[in-house]
Amino acid sequence: MLFHVNRLMLVAVFALGGAFARPVLGAEETAFAVYSAGIDGMLNDDLDRGLHAALVAMERNGFQMPMLDNDGDQAAISLLGQILMSRMHLELKMNPADAQAGEFPGSLQLSVFGNSGASVTEMSNRIKGLMERSRDLSERPVPDHQGLMQIQPNVGLQMPPMYWGEAKVGGEEAITISFNGMPSETGMDLSMFGLPSGVMTLAGLRLNFAAMSPVIAPVMMSGGPEGQQGMKVLEEFGILGPDAMDITIGYGVDSTNGHLAGRVTNMLKHWGMLMPEKGMSDSNLRVIPQDATAFSVRRMSMGRLPEFMNAMVDKVMPPDQMPKGPDGKAMEPMDMAVQMTQPVIGIDIVTEFFEYLGETIVIYRSNGTGGGGLFSLTGLIELSNPDGMKATLSTLASRLNSGLSQMSDGYVQLVDWSDEDELDMLTVAFPGIPVPVQVTLGVAGNQMILGMTPDTVRVAASQLRSSSSILNNSTFTTARGRASSKVFEMSYLDTAARMPEAYGFVAGLMTAINNFTMPTGTRIREIRSIMPAYGDLQQAAQPTLMMAMMDQDDMVIKGTGARSMMVHVTSMVGELMSSPMLLTAGVGGMVGLLLPAISQARNAAEMTHAMAEVRDIAVAVHTWSADHDGKLPNSLEQLVQGGYLEADRIMGHMDYYGMGLDMAAVKHPSTTIMAAKWLPENVAVVFMDGHVERMSYQEYEAHLNIQMPHGE
């Protein structure tokens, strides 16, 4: 089964290669690059040696999977495992100058260098075996290139040149697979990932959008006006154009630490409107408690978000395509947003929300705000006008609460309240339902605080008055080192704090791998441990710290952490156990509980609109009747034709019961239906006296059966 899927995947890959046309020559530029030292290379710390030995043993056993009984499937899985264990790089190089019209201006090459458990020759033999099994592909030797084969499809596809074989790449033996060009012997330049000198590169990624433009732009241009408009959007986001971004990120290790480095060019040119003039200061960090186990701080000009949105749309959307305002001029996107939302929420989201926001966003987890897990999650948004935001939250509560409570049958309420410390809070409560959260917004000092419970918000508010903070945490301050005023984003994780809950689970997983890799049918004389002792992991568990800063127009990322992959694995499992898994379950439960309320809110909005429509119909019918000696129109279309009613008021499933009727003949106008509009769950009904009601389908049909349409 897997082997057949493998064949289909190979054919699909080679079919995609049809976009390539011929080898290109001359100067080339890297457009896309991926480098990996492989699992074999990444497990190079003393604490990782047990897992490394187990995986090498598994590799030498052929990654045997008990559920697979097909030799081809086993061979494919073994080859995939060997590739993942191996050092390799994939590089797409572009050369638009040498490409003919309609040809793909680049070449793609994958090079795999083997690992300590499988040589290049061994993997090459596995590939040969799979090729021999394939009836969809054939190969032939390339003249004057010993060991190199050209691949040809047997399915009638027009293919570009594709090659594979063993070759020297950067002076080392490697398996190469290349599209649209002969394999290059030049090794990948790992300096492109920007890691410091003396750091061994373990992984890297590069996305050079400027080099990709010769491919992306023609595709967009072929889309007509919509494609050209899409090109403008991509230019604004830095994907196309002369200022397109070049993104690189790399990870590596030295003798003591793990290091992360990255760069995004031209960041300021595309996102500069949202960048504040000043970077991060200690005052931005003092809102974080000393016992925080994880946090993220970002500086951003949030008050300029409406201006940014307007500017982006103005650059890509022609004015004649924008909706017109009462003055006949094109409306700005945020003006439209205000026009749509203000009648519902009661505030101008630009002047009464965004303009109250400051320049710093903080998210953290700490023991004091809830044990360090999900319920300790706390968010803070700096405010430029705290009193204005208090008034805004109060208005939102008063405007939304009655409707929300009605739509949810009282099971969801917004509570606008203050505690004994006069902390103003807005809490989403769920009366009568055992929901495990009471999401709360509070305003304290110059911060708007968000927490899972009011208690979380109280503790976070008290931190604003505390004399201690994360700046008194020696683990953090040692990792940060000398502060820089250019930093505008910082993320921190206390790796050691995540290990206690995860160690037992990871130890069990490592034991399972250990058992699986032991040979069967022979006497086992020794058990080699995979999992390091808890104390050894704790000692090696350096915190993970990442910082982003500006270097002229570029964003530069720097990060440090533990050297051992086992430390990172254990910490990551602790993160999953303490937050995202619970968060997923919590959010899932919340969504399940709130979906009915959201659905009811949508239905209520539709019903409000429908009731307004049938009320307008009643007014039009009565006006018609006054102009036609008490007679009612024969149809609603007659009202439209006569100019008594707009055509959009009778859209949808409408019933009308006034045809051929004289208003004076209606004996019971308050119980006689004039017209009705059907909705997915209810019916909006207007009576002859002009009053409007909402009815269920059953109530509507029962009323029609009991009460004759003419009130007789």
Of 430, 58, 552, 476, residue with least CA distance to 291: 476
**High-pLDDT (> 90) share of the chain, %:** 41
Lowest mean pLDDT among 1-15, 501-515, 629-643: 1-15
**Count of Cβ atoms closer than 10 Å to residue 632 Cβ:** 23
Identify the pLDDT of residue 1.
Answer: 33
Residue 348 identity (one-letter amino acid) = D
Four-residue CA torsion sign, 47, 53, 55, 56: positive
Which ranges constitute the DSSP H helices of 408-533? Answer: 454-463, 474-480, 499-517
CB 267 within 8 A of CB 554: yes
Per-residue pLDDT averaged across 491-519, rounded? 89
* pLDDT tens-place string over residues 307-336: 988 888 877 777 666 777 667 777 788 888
CB 84 within 8 A of CB 39: yes
Identify the pLDDT of residue 155.
Answer: 57
CB 620 within 8 A of CB 639: yes
d(CA 379, CA 363): 4
Q: Which three-class secondary structure state does DSSP give residue 533?
A: coil
d(CA 341, CA 404): 16
Identify the pLDDT of residue 158.
Answer: 63
**Crossing angle (nearest 10°) for helices 580-627 and 565-578:** 40
CB 122 within 8 A of CB 57: no
Whether the pLDDT of residue 20 is over 50: the answer is no
Q: What is the pLDDT confidence band of residue 23, given thresholds at 50, 70 and 90?
A: very low
Lowest mean pLDDT among 225-234, 569-578, 658-667: 225-234
| CA–CA–CA angle 122, 253, 111 (5° rounding) | 30
Report the mean per-residue pLDDT for the chain. 83
CB 236 within 8 A of CB 208: no
Q: What is the pLDDT confidence band of residue 157, given thresholds at 50, 70 and 90?
A: low
Lowest mean pLDDT among 13-27, 228-242, 402-416, 642-656: 13-27
Identify the pLDDT of residue 21.
Answer: 35
**High-pLDDT (> 70) share of the chain, %:** 86
Q: What is the pLDDT confidence band of residue 73, given thresholds at 50, 70 and 90?
A: low
**Count of Cβ atoms closer than 10 Å to residue 123 Cβ:** 23
Identify the pLDDT of residue 66.
Answer: 52
Burial class (CB in 10 A: 0-12, 13-18, 19+), 481: exposed
Residue 224 identity (one-letter amino acid) = G
For residue 523, what are the CA distances in angstroms to 233, 520, 526?
66, 8, 9
E strand spans, 88-245:
88-94, 106-112, 137-141, 148-153, 162-169, 172-179, 200-208
Of 46, 320, 34, 79, residue with least CA distance to 190: 34
Dihedral of the alpha carbons of 341, 347, 350, 356, in degrees to the nearest 10 = -140
Beta-ladder partners of 441: 426, 450
Contacts of 125 (CB under 8 A, 6+ apart): none
- Would you report the helix, strand and coil content of the chain in percent, each value rounded to 5? 45, 25, 35
Q: Which two tokens stand for residue 610?
A: 């429908």
Per-residue pLDDT averaged across 25-43, rounded? 84
Whether the pLDDT of residue 585 is over 60: the answer is no
Q: What is the pTM of this model?
A: 0.73
Identify the pLDDT of residue 97.
Answer: 61
Q: Which two tokens stand for residue 651?
A: 């859209």
Which ranges constitute the DSSP H helices of 471-533? Answer: 474-480, 499-517
**155 vs 305, higher pLDDT:** 305
445 CA to centre of own chain: 32
Per-residue pLDDT averaged across 37-55, rounded? 91
Identify the pLDDT of residue 141.
Answer: 85
Q: What is the pLDDT confidence band of residue 8, given thresholds at 50, 70 and 90?
A: very low
d(CA 620, CA 184): 79
Per-residue pLDDT averaged across 116-132, rounded? 85
- Residue 510, φ and ψ in degrees, nearest 5: -65, -35
| Helix (H) or strand (E) segment spanning residue 381 | strand 378-383
Residue 418 identity (one-letter amino acid) = S
300 CA to centre of own chain: 19
* pLDDT tens-place string over residues 597-651: 445 556 666 788 888 899 999 999 999 898 888 899 989 999 998 889 888 888 8
CB 175 within 8 A of CB 123: yes
Burial 446-471 (b: 16+ CB within 10 A, else e): bbbbbbbbbebbbbbbebeeeeebbe
Which ranges constitute the DSSP H helices of 317-365? Answer: 333-345
For residue 309, what are the CA distances in angstroms to 314, 336, 565?
9, 12, 42
CB 135 within 8 A of CB 112: no
Of 627, 512, 551, residue with least CA distance to 264: 551
Whether the pLDDT of residue 596 is over 60: the answer is no
Whether the pLDDT of residue 592 is over 80: the answer is no
Lowest mean pLDDT among 3-7, 65-69, 262-266: 3-7
| Helix (H) or strand (E) segment spanning residue 576 | helix 565-578
Strands 424-429 and 440-444: antiparallel
Quote the DSSP letter at residue 100.
Answer: P
Of 618, 604, 622, residue with least CA distance to 649: 618
Per-residue pLDDT averaged across 538-564, rounded? 94
Strands across the sheet containing 673-678: 654-656, 673-678, 683-687, 692-695
d(CA 296, CA 288): 10
d(CA 163, CA 169): 14
Four-residue CA torsion sign, 645, 650, 654, 659: positive
Q: Which two tokens stand for residue 548?
A: 């982003």
Contacts of 320 (CB under 8 A, 6+ apart): 330
Bin 345: left if φ > 0, else alpha if -120 < ψ < 50, else beta.
alpha
Burial 600-621 (b: 16+ CB within 10 A, else e): bbeebebbeebbebbbbbbebb
Q: Which two tokens stand for residue 253?
A: 């290790």
* pLDDT tens-place string over residues 671-697: 899 999 998 888 999 999 989 998 888
Of 323, 321, 317, 355, residue with least CA distance to 337: 323
Identify the pLDDT of residue 504.
Answer: 93
Q: What is the pLDDT confidence band of residue 383, given thresholds at 50, 70 and 90?
A: very high
